[in-house]
Structure 1
Amino acid sequence: MTAQPLSAWSHLLRRPVSAAGLGVIVLLVLLSVLGPLLAPYGPNAADVSRALQPPGPEHWFGTDDLGRDVLSRVVLAARVSLQVSLVSVSIALAVGVTLGLLAGYFRGWADAVVMRVVDVLFAFPIMLLAIAIVAVLGPGLNTATIAIGVVYVPVFARVTRASALALREEPFVRAAVSIGARPLRIIRTHVLPNVMAPVIVQTSLSLAFAILSEAALSFLGLGVQPPQPSWGRMLFDGKAFTDAWWMSVFPGLAIFVTVLAFNLVGDGLRDVLDPRQRSVLESRRSR
């Protein structure tokens, strides 16, 4: 009896590394939602008499220079990182996909204008451009979110444009043009659904880089401002206390594990959403 084809979701869950990455992301979401209930102390509950205590039964991740519980701050900082990454990538996704669809389908002057702007943005290193935007708008959580969203717009625009250029020559798109369908309707019903596979993969990878970008901006003092907890800001606070290694190690591990999880899920999505790779997976499963 021939095995029934599995969905992309099923293929993703059958990959151990992708399933592990997805589990970490689910845990991150739970920490973001339930963090205030799970954290043993408040994020700014200071006790100077217990400053710089190493990890122990009372403070599992130790305390910082103000006597604040590092574990509580790491847990509560997950909400900040997830919020910044989701909002900034949503901005980049909405703007970049729209520009990429217009440039790839209409070509001509629309393509020339959009791609010249994209090329100008790509000429600057991502972090340098984000720092410049924050310097103009002023440091803070909202400006860091906007800056990260802007610098990732060109990435989504290029990915979408490349797919749209190929799709506009497909027979089903030409058939829609021949029967007089309006361009925007063709883009919405025929082109957009078919460019979503690479866009979804890019979204997962961009979420990882957005978390890194937020941590970098907060480390430089341009992102989250004290006393609000942030993994990047905690790294900045810990660099002045080399003996208190726990102040930097635990937020650094949180960044590493989260970014790795998004990358593992992105790699898995790239494989299961690629039709050629899907056929290979199905043939292996049949055998």
Structure 2
Amino acid sequence: MRVSNWRLLLGNPVALVSAILLLAIMVAALGAPWLAPSGVNDVDVPNALQAPGGAHWFGTDELGRDIASRVLVATRASLEVAVVSVAFALVVGVGVGLLAGYRGGWADTVLMRCVDVMFAFPVLLLALAIVAVLGPGLTTTVLAIGVVYTPIFARVARASTLGVRVEPYVAVSRSMGSPHRYILARHILPNIAGPLIVQTSLSLAFAILSEAALSFLGLGLQPPQPCLGRMIFDSQGFVTLAWWVAVFPGAAIFVIVLAFNLLGDGLRDVLDPKQRTSTEAGRGS
């Protein structure tokens, strides 16, 4: 982003706070193996369902395992799944959208009809179908989430490409005999990066929710790997007896998703010309 964009982003307190919060979460997640107070699968039945305190900041679960340690490690796993799956969706979706928007004609029709077919299925239902066919696990979860979010990036990339390909500088480059690959890499892709960055931030939030939902249903990450959705599922029988068993994993999901969404809104204000104009006009008044 340009210097002016960075200044506008830093001037947005909500976006700035969410970015700092996300940075702190990522640092904690990356350092989870060293920051975790105890082993994530260390069973201590005599201390089961112990309330939050000095020994266990978030309390213990029904097997006496430290919830703080499990939340840290589970957060790292959720972020890894979200980042890899959204990266997959970004690469494939942008490739499809660029090709459809730039080439037009039959290529656009065929590719976007395939995208429309995928859009006809609810996101979670399609992810459940993929996992049900391939079996639960880390790789399948990443693939399922990546596939269901690919059409979103394809549509965003196509819509932005349709607007950029008619710009004069693209026509001049094409008239000079520049190869299509050069035009796409030099002129099209840099000018559609803004909407894609915003969509990436928002998709990361929804990917976290999708991974938690799959894990809650037993089709995501499998034990002994801690995951936030599975922790909430396992806590159902103890909510009235030990509130902390469900509250802390749920709070982790809430904070991460909220931070990504707020950051996405801040990025949209900076990178979307219409939003940026209204924001600057509001400050000027």
Equivalent in 50, 54, 57 of residue 57 of structure 1: 54
Deviation at 1:166, TM superposition (A): 1.1
Query: Which amino acid is the alignment partner of residue 246 of structure 1?
Result: W
Number of the residue aligned with 2:244 = 246
* Contact 1:31–1:76 under 8 Å retained in 2: no
Deviation at 1:280, TM superposition (A): 4.4
Number of the residue aligned with 1:210 = 207
Deviates more, 1:46-55 or 1:126-135: 46-55
Number of the residue aligned with 1:264 = 262
Number of the residue aligned with 1:88 = 85
Number of the residue aligned with 1:179 = 176
1:36-51 pair list within 5 angstroms = 36-51=33-48
Structure 1: distance between partners of 2:58 and 2:275? 43
Deviation at 1:282, TM superposition (A): 4.4
**Is 1:14 equivalent to 2:11 in the alignment?**
yes
The share of aligned pairs that are identical, in percent, is 61
Query: Which amino acid is the alignment partner of residue 133 of structure 1?
Result: I
* Contact 1:104–1:161 under 8 Å retained in 2: yes
Q: Deviations over 1:227-271 (max 9, x none)?
A: 111111110111121222111110000000100000000000000
Structure 2: distance between partners of 1:224 and 1:197? 32
Deviation at 1:26, TM superposition (A): 0.4
Number of the residue aligned with 1:273 = 271
3-state secondary structure, aligned to 2:238: coil
1:27-176 pair list within 5 angstroms = 27-176=24-173
Deviation at 1:15, TM superposition (A): 1.1
Structure 2: distance between partners of 1:280 and 1:143? 43
Deviation at 1:23, TM superposition (A): 1.3
Deviation at 1:284, TM superposition (A): 5.5
3-state secondary structure, aligned to 2:56: coil
Query: Which amino acid is the alignment partner of residue 92 of structure 1?
Result: A
CA RMSD, 1 decimal: 1.4
Structure 1: distance between partners of 2:21 and 2:230? 22
Query: Which amino acid is the alignment partner of residue 230 of structure 1?
Result: C
Q: Deviations over 1:115-156 (max 9, x none)?
A: 011001000000000000011111011110110000000000
Deviation at 1:286, TM superposition (A): 6.0
Q: Deviations over 1:95-134 (max 9, x none)?
A: 0000000000101111011101100100000000000001
Structure 1: distance between partners of 2:135 and 2:277? 50
3-state secondary structure, aligned to 2:237: coil
Deviates more, 1:32-41 or 1:82-91: 32-41
* Contact 1:104–1:111 under 8 Å retained in 2: yes
Query: Which amino acid is the alignment partner of residue 49 of structure 1?
Result: P
* Contact 1:51–1:68 under 8 Å retained in 2: yes
Deviation at 1:9, TM superposition (A): 2.0
With the length of structure 2 as denominator, give the TM-score of the two structures. Answer: 0.96
Q: Deviations over 1:4-39 (max 9, x none)?
A: x95212221221111111112101111121111111
Count of paired positions: 283
Structure 2: distance between partners of 1:248 and 1:143? 26
Structure 1: distance between partners of 2:68 and 2:219? 24
Query: Which amino acid is the alignment partner of residue 250 of structure 1?
Result: F
- Note the residue ranges of structure 1 that are not aligned, 5 or more in a row: none
Deviates more, 1:50-59 or 1:190-199: 50-59
